[in-house]
């Protein structure tokens, strides 16, 4: 039986796939690239997703072929006419097609096989997540995720090409909560005493003061999340202490009581101006952000019957020694009587905790999160110091500077201590601009 040959001519040509008419929009952001070099695409297969302020649009291919090169990437801005990719296109021109039934069957089998291969390829493309690492989603879903504090790029979408829908966000959050609960349960497992305390004698169980109970959460957070380092040093405050002891009221002539803490507050502010890293917060360190504060609110640890409280001396840079001394008395009294506003415990630059009125020298104060440093002050004492080839009696104040090693290194802390020592030293009057 004579068989007429099916004549086909194949023409290879490269095709530029461009951004079609997208209305009045220009410089629209590419949020998703759905193809890669070497990938085979069919007509109407999706290539990219672009997103404006109001909507997202998927742009399909107008030809079939193999991707030669992708000309854009996620984050690029595109407009109508910009080239998306170069496609190696195969145009098939059919001439004089006269096929016997047997040949038709063979071609049908071949076509079926080809369609199966294409479908398998598309199926594979659909289940693979975008190689750029950016999840596709509509503006509505992105907003939904943002409002819940979720990074949408961490979510594996259930739709075609890994597209994220609202239900995916809900499932993701649910899984995080369950995981967090499991971790929390693991962390809260404590080692308990094998025997109760009462087995060894008489005990009394009392309720923990509310202030201490509230503070315990913050203290544990600070100690477990902040890498503490403490620098110990001594400050010669002889001249400053003599001046403080000689102060008198200009109207009554009576001796005026000004605590050393007032001078330390003023000295600390002066050092914070020179070393702004100490007046910062890095609670957003996961995103590489540091917040430098332009205000100077100094926290003062106050010992009360209810527990330790840390009110703030606001705008200490604008107040003189006398004003700071008076304010210290006021806020301390408010804390002891529980008459202080809760907001006064927040928004500080740096904290001072002093044991000077009780006793002791060096210790390791815990940083008051989200601050990055705290100054511990011990009890001053007289010491024999060798100066100018002879021993002299000097008043020495022990200080302990704890700092967050993620933002402050040892050399900077040492310089900070040296500056603080100068501010409280023999030239204190000049340094503090009294």
Full 3-state SS string of 332-400: HHHHHCCCCCHHHHCCCCEEEEECCCCCCCCCCCCCCCCCCEEEEECCCEEEEEEECCEEEEEEEEEEE
The kind and range of the H/E element at 51 are strand 46-51
| Residue 226: DSSP 8-state | S
- d(CA 313, CA 329) in angstroms, rounded, equals 11
Looking at residue 118, its pLDDT comes to: 40
- Name all domains of the chain by residue range, CATH numbers in brackets: 10-101 (2.40.50.100), 139-183 (4.10.320.10), 210-431 (3.30.559.10)
* Coil, helix or strand at residue 244: helix
Q: Specify whether 197 is catalytic.
A: no
- Distance between CA atoms of 407 and 256, rounded to whole angstroms? 40
Q: How far, in Å, CA of 126 to CA of 145, rounded?
A: 23
**CB within 8 A of 154, min separation 6: which ones?**
135, 172
Partner residues linked to 90 by β-bridges: 12
pLDDT tens digits, the chain, 434 residues: what are they? Answer: 444 444 344 445 678 888 888 777 788 888 888 888 888 888 888 888 887 765 667 788 888 888 888 888 888 888 888 898 888 865 443 333 343 444 444 545 555 544 444 444 333 333 344 444 556 777 778 777 777 777 778 888 877 767 788 888 878 877 776 665 555 555 556 677 888 888 899 999 988 888 888 888 888 888 988 999 999 999 999 999 998 888 887 777 788 888 899 999 999 999 999 999 999 998 877 788 899 999 999 999 999 888 889 999 999 999 999 899 999 999 999 999 888 888 999 999 999 999 988 888 999 999 999 999 999 999 999 999 998 899 999 999 999 999 999 999 999 999 999 999 999 988 776 666 54
Long-range contacts of 319-327 (CB under 8 A, 24+ apart): 320/434, 321/258, 321/262, 321/263, 321/266, 321/432, 321/434, 322/256, 322/258, 322/262, 324/262, 324/265, 324/266, 325/257, 325/258, 325/259, 325/262
Distance separating alpha carbons of residues 39 and 70, to the nearest angstrom: 10
SS (H, E, C) 58-95: EEECCCCEEEEEECCCCCCEECCCCEEEEEEEEEEEEE
For 225, the enclosing helix (H) or strand (E) is helix 210-225
pLDDT of residue 114: 45
Return the pLDDT at 104.
45
Residues 315, 236: Cα–Cα separation, whole Å: 27
Catalytic residue among 228, 232, 306, 405: 405
Report how far residue 279's alpha carbon sits from residue 374's, in angstroms, rounded to the nearest whole number: 10
């Amino acid at each position: 039986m004579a068989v007429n040959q099916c004549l086909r001519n194949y023409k290879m040509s490269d095709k530029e796939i461009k951004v079609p008419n997208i209305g009045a929009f220009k410089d629209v952001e590419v949020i998703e690239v759905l193809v890669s070099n070497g990938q085979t695409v069919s007509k109407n297969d999706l290539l990219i997703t672009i997103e404006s302020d109001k909507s997202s649009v998927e742009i399909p291919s107008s030809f079939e072929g193999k991707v030669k090169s992708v000309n854009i990437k996620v984050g690029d801005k595109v407009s109508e006419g910009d080239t998306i990719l170069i496609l190696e296109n195969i145009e098939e021109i059919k001439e004089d097609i006269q096929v016997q039934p047997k040949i038709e069957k063979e071609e049908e089998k071949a076509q079926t096989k080809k369609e199966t291969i294409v479908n398998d390829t598309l199926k594979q493309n659909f289940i693979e997540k975008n190689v750029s690492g950016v999840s596709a989603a509509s503006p509505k879903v992105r907003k939904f995720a943002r409002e819940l504090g979720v990074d949408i790029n961490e979510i594996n979408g259930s739709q075609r090409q890994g597209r994220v829908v609202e239900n995916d966000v809900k499932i993701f959050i649910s899984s995080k909560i369950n995981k967090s609960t499991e971790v929390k349960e693991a962390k809260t497992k404590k080692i308990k005493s094998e025997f109760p305390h009462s087995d060894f004698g008489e005990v009394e169980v009392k309720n923990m003061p509310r202030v201490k109970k509230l503070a315990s959460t913050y203290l544990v957070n600070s100690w477990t999340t902040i890498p503490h380092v403490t620098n110990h040093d001594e400050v010669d405050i002889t001249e400053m202490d003599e001046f403080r002891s000689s102060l008198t009221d200009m109207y009554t002539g009576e001796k005026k009581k000004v605590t050393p803490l007032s001078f330390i507050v003023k000295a600390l502010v002066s050092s914070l101006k020179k070393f702004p890293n100490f007046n910062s917060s890095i609670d957003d360190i996961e995103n590489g952000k540091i917040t430098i504060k332009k205000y100077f609110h100094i926290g003062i640890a106050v010992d009360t019957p209810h527990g330790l409280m840390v009110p703030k001396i606001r705008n200490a840079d604008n107040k003189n020694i006398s004003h700071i001394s008076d304010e210290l008395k006021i806020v301390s009294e408010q804390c002891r009587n529980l008459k202080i506003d809760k907001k006064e415990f927040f928004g500080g630059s740096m904290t001072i905790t002093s044991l000077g009125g009780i006793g002791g020298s060096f210790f390791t104060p815990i940083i008051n999160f989200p601050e990055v440093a705290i100054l511990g002050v011990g009890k001053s004492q007289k010491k024999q110091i060798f100066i100018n080839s002879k021993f002299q009696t000097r008043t020495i104040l022990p200080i302990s500077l704890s700092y967050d090693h993620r933002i402050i290194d040892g050399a900077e802390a040492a310089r900070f201590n040296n500056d603080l020592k100068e501010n409280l030293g023999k030239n204190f009057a000049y340094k503090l601009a009294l």
